[in-house]
Amino acid sequence: MNRTTTRESLEASLQDLDFPAEKPRILECAERNGADDDTVAALRAIPPVGYGSWTELISAVRVESDDDRS
């Protein structure tokens, strides 16, 4: 299973997430919003710490760049 996701998938899966957020709540939110398997796997791979903002979270997730898709 891929441990990367797209920024678009991440944003859609976590649209109603409030910060600060711990990893279990992030995963719960993604699963509740129907995140795809790659997005869930990418979120499971993040360190188990608290994230104070979207910027902190996105820097911990392996997000595909446009170069990865070609």
Percent of the chain surpassing pLDDT 70? 90
Task: Report d(CA 62, CA 65) in Å as an integer.
Answer: 9
Residues 6+ apart with CB under 8 A from 21: 29, 50, 51, 57
Residue 3 has pLDDT above 80, yes or no: yes
| Helix, strand or coil, per DSSP, at residue 1 | coil
Task: Report d(CA 23, CA 15) in Å as an integer.
Answer: 15
Residue 43 has pLDDT above 50, yes or no: yes
CA 13 distance to own-chain centroid: 8
Confidence band, pLDDT 50/70/90 cuts, at residue 9: very high
